[in-house]
A = this chain, B = another copy of it.
């Protein structure tokens, strides 16, 4: 019978890879719902499994959310890397990175918020894998800082803060979502000149 062969294993009493399925379903639900409206039982329902089955793979709800946040962070880092390379690196690449940061937030509002709502705690719990992605954000900022005058750390922080602040203000409806505006704000955000 039918059974798909490679990607998705057969279904029975035991789910093939429930942990991955839960994360996938959670990310899908986050495209429509806000992070705090996402329920444990809701995710279980989406996967077609009992609510308590989740506890075989995550100690509690916060751990599930942290896993979603970790995956979101990886995607954010990937989007930035891609934008930087597409722009050819250097200063242009750095500006592109900032713009990609903001556009990722606008394209994935709930996920973006979840990343930063959980990153502080997730860092302390897991420690390793998402550190990699976050390091890219920091490294990007620090790298450009050397090209200009002033304190490198301060310039890096300003660039990060501009991107993060603009993303948040647009998400919260404080600033109209204007695609061209993103480039102008982030671009001139390369201060010192």
Chain A residues in the interface with B (C-beta under 8 A)? 36, 116-117, 119-120, 123, 134, 150-151, 154-155, 157-158, 160-166, 168-169, 172-175, 181, 184-185, 188-189, 191
- Cross-chain pairs A/B with CB under 8 angstroms, 13 sampled: A116-B174, A134-B174, A154-B181, A154-B188, A160-B169, A161-B163, A161-B166, A161-B169, A162-B162, A164-B165, A165-B166, A165-B168, A191-B191
Contact among B157, B158, B185 for A154, CB-based, below 8 A = B185
A189 with B116: in contact, given A151-B184, A166-B165 (CB under 8 Å)? no
CB < 8 Å neighbour of A162 from B158, B172, B181? B158
The distance in angstroms between the C-alpha atoms of A9 and B190, with both chains bound, is 57
A116 with B191: in contact, given A157-B175, A161-B161 (CB under 8 Å)? no
In the complex, chain B residues whose CB is within 8 Å of the CB of A163? 161, 165
**Structural contact, B172 and A119, CB atoms closer than 8 A:** yes
Q: Do A150 and B188 have beta carbons less than 8 Å apart?
A: yes
Instruction: Report, nearest first, the 3 A-B pairs whose CB atoms are least far apart.
Output: A165-B165, A120-B173, A161-B165
Whether B172 and A157, one on each chain, are in contact in the complex, defined by CB atoms closer than 8 angstroms, is: no
Task: Name the B residues within 8 Å of A168 (CB-CB).
Answer: 116, 164-165, 168
For the complex, what is the distance from the CA of A126 to the CA of B79, rounded to whole Å? 38
Most chain B beta-carbon contacts within 10 A, residue among A120, A123, A134, A191 = A191
CB <8 Å contact, A161 and B160: no
| CB of A35 to closest CB in B, whole Å | 10
Tell me, rounded to whole Å, the shortest Cβ–Cβ distance linking A167 to chain B: 8
User: Nearest-CB distance from A47 to chain B (Å)?
Assistant: 24
With CB as the reference atom, state the residue of chain B lying closest to A190: B191
Q: How far is the CA of A120 from the CA of B170 in the complex (A)?
A: 10
Residues from chain B with a CB closer than 8 A to the CB of A120 are: 172-174
Contacts A161-B161, A162-B162 supplied; 5 other A-B pairs, CB < 8 Å: A155-B188, A158-B188, A162-B165, A163-B165, A168-B168
